[in-house]
Amino acid sequence: MAVLRDGAMSRQKTERLLSLVVCLLSARRYLTAWQIRDAVPGYPSSPEAFKRMFERDKDELRELGIPLETGPAGPEEEVGYRIPRQAYELPEIVLEPDEAAVLGLAARVWRQAELAGAAAGGLMKLRAAGVEAEESTQPGIEPRLPAGEAAFGPLWRAVRDRRPVTFPYQAPGRPGPQARNLEPWGVVNRHGRWYVVGFDRDRGQERVFRLSRITGPVMFIGPAGSVTVPEGTDVRESVRAWDGAPPPVRTAALRVRQGAGFGLRRRAVSDRPDSGHPGWDRVDAPFTDCGWYAGYIASFGADVVVLGPPDLREAVIGRLKGAAG
């Protein structure tokens, strides 16, 4: 058989699949595979080759979300196929112009990210249903979900299909990645970063993982539908609890050079000239994590001096010594 060019091959396949969809949508009862072969042009005559191609075509249609139903067909009660209209068709949807405008805006949110194709495909179907989603004329807001790391696609499919996964994970402060086994409950974006939340089978607990720290392929380790998300789970809340800072607990006493330290002063509880040190201000500011705050203060170099508490003062001196080499 002559090798067909990719384009011709692809066109033949599109024609065959389209005819198959039309055939199964038109069918009033279930059709056997052989009845389908007789009706749809483009299938090979060899039974084995036909079977293989028909199997692939069924998978393709299901992948597209086309509801392919099976039931008894013919006098021998063989396996038969059809596509029920009601399950296939998008229900009636009518959007007002302002609703269609925000839909156009929404479809752009994923433009850099993995579900860009899905958003565009959804918009195409809604336009096909008569929705006029034009470019927005509203005062502009353009949020963008970030291009997720390579792990986003497989993790989204695992969440969608409720399948457990395994992946190598580089936790901070560990020398190398470790394999983790997770029953994923949801994917969350918080402040522009992607996380997956779920039940960690090894730890026996709910855990949150940052996608950028997944260092290798994500693999399924169980069938679809084998993950149960506990009743009342709020994945957004899980990530907030994991990521959220505890309330401020202590106050740093600082001496800040006048005209400097704007960033620091924004969160200050008090800010006044230091009478004993001309050219300097006395600033009090809340902080929680001593190590993190010490780094922040060190970044201002000679413009900020810590008066207390002592552990913060020592931590800043430690940072500066490290930077001095």
- Give SS3 for 53: helix
Longest pairwise C-alpha distance within the chain:
103
Closer of 56 and 272 to other proteins (Cβ) = 56
Site for other proteins (CB under 8 A): how many residues?
A: 135
Q: Is 5 in the site for other proteins (CB under 8 A)?
A: no
**Sole residue written with tokens 């495909």:** 121
Closer of 3 and 90 to other proteins (Cβ) = 90
Which residue in 52, 56, 144, 203 binds other proteins (CB under 8 A)? 144
Pick out residues in 179-208 that bind other proteins (CB under 8 A). Answer: 179, 185-193
Among the listed ranges 45-53, 68-76, 106-114, 245-253, the one in contact with other proteins (CB under 8 A) is 106-114
Residue closest to 35 by CA, chosen among 25, 23, 46: 23
- Kindly list the distances between the CA atom of residue 218 and the CA atoms of 49, 229, 271, 317, in Å, as whole numbers in the listed order: 33, 20, 51, 43
First to last CA, the chain: 72
Pick out residues in 145-184 that bind other proteins (CB under 8 A). Answer: 145-146, 152-160, 163, 165-166, 172-176, 179
Among the listed ranges 11-19, 45-53, 74-82, 281-289, the one in contact with other proteins (CB under 8 A) is 11-19
Pick out residues in 211-270 that bind other proteins (CB under 8 A). Answer: 212, 217-221, 229, 234-236, 239-240, 260-263, 266
Pick out residues in 81-100 that bind other proteins (CB under 8 A). Answer: 87-96, 98-100
- Is residue 261 left, alpha or beta, with left meaning phi > 0 and alpha meaning psi from -120 to 50? left
Helix (H) or strand (E) holding 313: helix 310-324
